[in-house]
Each structure stands twice: as C-alpha cells, then as structure tokens.
C-alpha cells in the first residue's frame, strides 16, 4: 500500500512531506527499499509455509476432530503461500499477459544456503498458484471450515483465484470465481455514506459483512498503524500529513460529488482539509492546500492516538469482483455487460443514481473501468497493478498534477503505461548477492 500510494498518481506530497521518498520521485533502482521489502517479506512467508508443510508430513492425525483441524491448517497454508506468490508475480513479473515471460522464483521446499534457483515463467507461477488454491479449497471444504472475514476461508480462496486469473487475462476462470464469491456477498443498491464510512472505521455490521470478503486484523493487537503511511499523527489537517490525496484525484471526487452525490469524496478526504481555489498559481501549494487522506480514520473503539491511526486492511472486497466481471465483459465483446457492472458499483456510491454508461469502443470501456478502480480502490494497494495490466488497453498511465510534480527537486510527472517503472520492480540487489545467476528485469 505504501509503495503504491507513493509511486503512482494516488497521492502528492503533504505539508510535512519534505521532498518525498526516492520512490515518490520515481528514483527506482535495485536497492529500492520497497522492492526489497516486497521480495523479502513474501519469500519469508513462502519459507514459513514450506516449513509447515515439511513438518505436517511427519504428523498423521487419527481422531476425526484432529483430521479436520489438520486439513484446515494445511488449507490455510496453501492459500497463504498462493497469496504471497500472487504479490511477487504482481510486482516483479515482466509481463503478466505473456505466459512465457519471466515471473519469479518457484520453491516448494525448505532450501539450504547453497540453493540457487532461476526465475520461472509467468505461466508456471500462475499454475503453481492455481494448484495451491485448488488444494486449499479441497482441504478447507473437507475440514468444514466456516466463513470468517479475518481467517482464510473458501471465499478468500475464490477471491484470490478471481484476482490472479484476471491479472493474467484468463477471464473465463476469473469470472467463474468472481461469480462464486458474489453468491455470498452483495453490494448495496443505494448509497449510504454512514454505512460505507462504518466499513473504514471497522464497525461490525451489515455493511461490512456484505462488502468485506477478507481483511487483515490490524486492530486485534494494535500492531500496524497504517494510517501513518499518510499522516504523522491523526488523519486530519493537524496531523502533519506526509502524503495527501493527489490534486487530480481530488478533482475527480469533487466533480463526482457535485454531479452525482458520490459518497466517497467525504470518506476519502478529511473534512478539515483546506482546498486552494487557484491551485496552480498559489505561492505555497504544499502548505496551503491540504487534502488529507481520511480513508483510514482509525478504529473508534481503540484508545487515544492508536485509535486515530489503526485500521484493518481490506484485502478482498465485493466491489473488486464486479470490476473483474466488467473486465471479462470487455474481453468478450460485451460492452453493455461491462457498463452494467460499473453501474452496480456506482449505484452503491452515488446518491443521485445514473444510467449505465455507454461505451463507444473497448478502449473507452477499459478507460472507464481503470478510472473507477482508481477512485474506489484508492489507497488500498491496487493502482500499480491496475496500470501495469490495463494501462495499454485504456491508453492511460499515471496522471500526476503538474503543480504536485513541481514540489519535487527532480520533477517527473506523467508516466506513460510503457515506462518500465509502471510495469515492474527490479529484482533486488540483495537477491543477486546470494543468487548471482538470476535474471534481472529489463532496463534495471
């Protein structure tokens, strides 16, 4: 989430953001801290999963209850290993739509320090993920594992399968699993700002139950205060904002709110924000114009500053399944079908509901889907992946505001969808020190 919000056009520098990180200034190389963390942390998760599998092979449960618990543990483990591989594939694969292009390293055993492995193809990684997810669904089903929004379930597995297969263009498989998930989750047919806000405050209720398929339970032990990605202290103008809602995204939200009653405008943006009317000509736009990220306002049940910074991370939401079905409809030449899915999303967010959009071409449909994903999935970690896989189809890259860009010492503004920095991260230098034969991504 932090990498995506900094590298894409989601956010601009806040009043306390100084010059921004190297990543925000698009200075990305093999020592990039985010690339290193995404690579190392996901391979650490894979290693732990493989250790569990090797240990589980030494255990043979006999009692029925133990067999169910054993199968549930293995099913969760398969799903989490697949999730880690999906992250690695998203950020490091050379070309998600080319099955023969370079993916990432596949490893299903506990390696020794001498182990040296090359990168596998995208197709091999996708097959591995799908196999893990099939095993997970079989085991969870046999164990009778019920649904929970904070534990791995069959719905988690199906949502991940829908996402991964959409990312690589297998929309037949993606649609099957997106529809399976939507059998259990439903977007509202009318927009309610109060209900939608409750989801982001982690208030349990019907709104969250229908819209959140799975979330990481940050608030359980008050561990990761992800609000600090954007705000030093609290999510308002007094909280020393590090990064703010980008000016161009703000304008889209403002226009939508004025014209359609888009409830997301007042939820994504804190009411204490100060908006400069003539932003391009303001003498000090970084200090005077403060568009504060309020998507993660903190859990009101938690005490003090902790409550102002800590929320659960929404990993799979119902709305993503509708976006996947919209993408599938475009691929199948069904532009009205794609429009119908976008209308379902907008009906849930617009108090002044509109007719379904009419697309004149596939490119127009892709552009609208990509734009709606940018609005709805803001600050959830999707934008990098979305431009990577849909940018060429929509003829869109990153759209940073020129005044936002002027705040950086070495300004770079709009990045086209063909720029390698919108396509993949470099394989970290640390990997080469232990695995010198691995192949680097082009132009790094």
Determine the distance from the C-alpha atom of residue 345 to the mean position of all C-alpha atoms in its chain, rounded to a whole number.
Answer: 17
What distance in Å separates the CA atoms of residue 240 and residue 308, rounded to the nearest whole number?
13
What distance in Å separates the CA atoms of residue 301 and residue 295, rounded to the nearest whole number?
17
Q: Where is pLDDT greater, at 415 or 293?
A: 293
Would you mind telling me the total number of residues written for the chain in this entry?
444
pLDDT digits (tens, 9 = 90+) for 233-274: 888 888 899 999 999 999 999 999 999 999 999 999 999 999
Give the residue among 80, 58, 61, 213 at the shortest CA–CA distance from 142: 61
The three-point CA angle 407-411-416 to 5° equals 125
pLDDT digits (tens, 9 = 90+) for 317-350: 999 999 999 999 999 999 999 999 999 999 999 9
| This prediction's pTM | 0.96
Least confident of 88-102, 321-335, 352-366, 397-411: 397-411
What distance in Å separates the CA atoms of residue 410 and residue 233, rounded to the nearest whole number?
28
pLDDT digits (tens, 9 = 90+) for 172-196: 999 999 999 999 999 999 999 999 9
Helix (H) and strand (E) counts for the chain?
Answer: 18, 4
The DSSP symbol for 16 reads T
Give the position of tokens 């208030």: 203
Which percentage of the chain shows pLDDT scores above 90? 84
Q: What is the mean pLDDT of residues 218-244?
A: 83
Q: Where is pLDDT greater, at 183 or 27?
A: 183
Arithmetic mean of pLDDT over the chain: 94
- Rounded to the nearest 10 degrees, the angle between the axes of helix 122-143 and helix 64-92 is 160
Give the position of tokens 């009778």: 144
173: Cβ–Cβ under 8 A, 6 or more apart, which residues? 130, 161, 165
Q: Write out the H or E segment, with its range, that includes residue 317.
A: strand 313-317
């Amino acid at each position: 989430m932090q990498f995506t919000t900094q590298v894409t056009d989601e956010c601009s520098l806040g009043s306390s953001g100084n010059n921004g990180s190297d990543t925000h200034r698009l200075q990305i190389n093999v020592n990039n801290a985010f690339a290193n963390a995404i690579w190392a942390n996901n391979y650490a998760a894979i290693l732990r999963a493989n250790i569990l599998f090797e240990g589980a092979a030494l255990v043979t449960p006999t009692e029925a209850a133990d067999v169910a618990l054993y199968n549930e543990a293995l099913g969760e483990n398969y799903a989490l290993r697949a999730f880690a591989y999906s992250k690695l594939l998203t950020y490091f694969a050379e070309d998600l739509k080319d099955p023969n292009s370079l993916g990432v390293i596949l490893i299903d055993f506990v390696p020794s320090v001498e182990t040296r492995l090359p990168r596998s193809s995208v197709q091999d990684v996708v097959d591995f993920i799908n196999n893990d997810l099939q095993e997970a669904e079989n085991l969870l089903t046999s164990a009778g594992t019920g649904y929970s929004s904070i534990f791995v379930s069959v719905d988690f597995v199906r949502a991940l399968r829908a996402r991964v297969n959409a990312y690589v263009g297998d929309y037949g498989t993606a649609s099957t699993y997106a529809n399976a998930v939507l059998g259990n989750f439903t977007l509202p047919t009318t927009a309610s700002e109060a209900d939608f806000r409750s989801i982001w405050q982690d208030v349990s209720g019907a709104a969250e139950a229908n819209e959140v398929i799975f979330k990481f339970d940050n608030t359980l032990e008050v561990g990761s205060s992800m609000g600090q990605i954007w705000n030093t202290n609290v999510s308002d103008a007094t909280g020393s904002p590090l990064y703010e809602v980008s000016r161009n995204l703000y304008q889209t939200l403002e226009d939508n709110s004025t014209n359609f009653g888009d409830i997301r405008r007042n939820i994504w943006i804190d009411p204490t924000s100060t908006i400069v009317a003539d932003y391009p000509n303001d003498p000090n736009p970084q200090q005077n114009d403060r568009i504060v990220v309020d998507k993660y306002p903190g859990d009101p049940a938690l005490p003090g500053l902790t409550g102002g910074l800590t929320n659960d991370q929404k990993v799979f939401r119902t709305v993503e399944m509708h976006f996947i079905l919209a993408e599938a409809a475009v691929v199948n030449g069904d532009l009205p079908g794609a429009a119908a899915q976008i209308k379902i999303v907008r009906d849930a967010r617009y108090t002044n509901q509109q007719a379904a959009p009419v697309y004149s071409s596939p490119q127009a449909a892709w552009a609208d889907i990509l734009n709606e994903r940018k609005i709805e999935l803001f600050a959830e970690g999707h934008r990098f992946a979305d431009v990577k896989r849909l940018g060429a189809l929509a003829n869109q890259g990153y759209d940073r505001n020129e005044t936002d860009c002027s705040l950086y010492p070495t300004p770079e503004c709009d990045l086209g969808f063909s720029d390698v920095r919108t396509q993949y991260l470099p394989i970290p230098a640390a990997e080469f020190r232990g695995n010198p034969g691995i192949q680097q991504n082009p132009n790094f």
